[in-house]
Amino acid sequence: MHEVTERTRHWLETVALLGKRPVVERRLSGGYRNENLLLACADGRRYVLRRYLGEARAEVEAALARRVRPVVPVAEVVAAEPGGSALLLEFVPGTAVEELLRELPSHDAESLGITAGRVLAAIGTIRFDRGGFFTDATLVPEPVAGTGDLPGWVRADPGWALTAADRDGLLAAAERGAPLIARIADESRLVHSDFNPKNLLAERSGDGWRVTVLDWEFAFSGSPLADLGNVLRFGDTPFTGGVLAGYGPLPGGWRETARALDLFALADLLTRAPQRPLADAIRTAVDRIVR
């Protein structure tokens, strides 16, 4: 297992898998910040090892997975490495929705979106005592300074070469969105915060689909409209239309508020050096907002 550290290998074999000696089959597609490895054992069992290449979030993600598992399909947690640098999950069969959408006809993409929308709505039914971000396995949300000031957040120095028109357009959108953000400031429901085809697995189930939600590292307590902003970020598609239909009734003005909330995530992404293929998608989103 040359792909993992000696410490993680020892933890896997002696603690997480109780004597089993897994081998790495391949790297899996998924997040841009962390690494997911498919492991196989001699008994035929397969697992996913999620390695955190930046902030160690294994214990937080494990706690979140256990919290949401009764409500939405997620991978079952096997163990979290002490210190939070690795998480071992049961392997979930299926295909990344990102891959499926490259080939599915429009009516199937919409049907898949409807199932995903129902799952997203279920995520938003999980409530907390207050808004904020999860810093440890207790899942007690901690407020983050600056999240009440959308224009100030957007003014942060980007790691991208934005034009003056880009900056002005993003700031104008933030100023328009600030009053909308203030209206939902007291919301304290679970937000996945990266709900998109890259982080969804799907497989056929009878006449429909089963959708499993992956990668909870950015989850927080706030308004579920933030997840809808993520869904809308890259334009209208049959899948997006299905998500909205499956999600169910939405309040008046939801679209404008969702887009305003998504500016927090977009501005955060812009503080990092661009990496493809994410960079192309973010560039498209910026262009759409500026136009």
Residue 263 is assigned to a structural domain of this protein: yes
Burial class (CB in 10 A: 0-12, 13-18, 19+), 19: exposed
Q: Last residue of a domain, which of 42, 67, 90?
A: 90
83 plus 196 within the same structural domain: no
Residue 102 is assigned to a structural domain of this protein: yes
State the CATH number of the domain containing residue 222: 3.90.1200.10
Residues 107-139: pLDDT tens digits? 999 999 999 999 999 999 999 999 999 999 999
Question: With 60 as the cut, is the pLDDT of residue 2 above it?
Answer: no
Residue 246 is assigned to a structural domain of this protein: yes
Residue 269 is assigned to a structural domain of this protein: yes
Q: What pLDDT is attached to residue 181?
A: 93
pLDDT classification of 284: cutoffs 50, 70, 90: confident
85 plus 99 within the same structural domain: no
Question: With 80 as the cut, is the pLDDT of residue 143 above it?
Answer: yes
113 plus 57 within the same structural domain: no
Extract the tokens encoding 141.
């949300």
Q: What pLDDT is attached to residue 5?
A: 83
pLDDT classification of 179: cutoffs 50, 70, 90: very high
- Other Cβ atoms less than 10 A from the Cβ of 49: the count is 24
Number of domains in the chain: 2
Extract the tokens encoding 166.
């880009």
Q: What pLDDT is attached to residue 122?
A: 98
What whole-number percentage of the chain has pLDDT above 90? 67
Residues 187-241: pLDDT tens digits? 999 999 999 999 999 999 888 999 999 999 899 999 999 999 999 987 889 999 9
Q: Are 258 and 222 in contact (CB under 8 A)?
A: no
- Could you give the C-alpha distances from 164 to 77, 171, 283, 290, in angstroms and in order? 46, 11, 15, 11
Extract the tokens encoding 98.
């990102």
> For residues 170, 189, 132 and 178, what is the CA-based torsion angle, rounded to 10 degrees?
30
Among candidate residues 225, 214, 236, the one with its CA nearest the CA of residue 263: 225
267 plus 210 within the same structural domain: yes
Residue 21 is assigned to a structural domain of this protein: yes
42 plus 71 within the same structural domain: yes
42 plus 182 within the same structural domain: no
104 plus 137 within the same structural domain: yes
Q: What pLDDT is attached to residue 277?
A: 67
State the CATH number of the domain containing residue 83: 3.30.200.20
84 plus 101 within the same structural domain: no
Q: Last residue of a domain, which of 90, 107, 140?
A: 90
- Other Cβ atoms less than 10 A from the Cβ of 65: the count is 19
153 plus 246 within the same structural domain: yes
Non-local (6+) Cβ contacts of 4 within 8 A are: 12, 24, 37, 49, 51, 86
Task: Report helix, strand and coil shares of the chain as percent, to nearest 5.
Answer: 40, 20, 40
68 plus 10 within the same structural domain: yes
85 plus 126 within the same structural domain: no
168 plus 236 within the same structural domain: yes
By residue range, what is the domain housing residue 174? 95-290
Residues 24-43: pLDDT tens digits? 999 887 666 788 999 999 99
Residue 1 is assigned to a structural domain of this protein: no
pLDDT classification of 62: cutoffs 50, 70, 90: very high
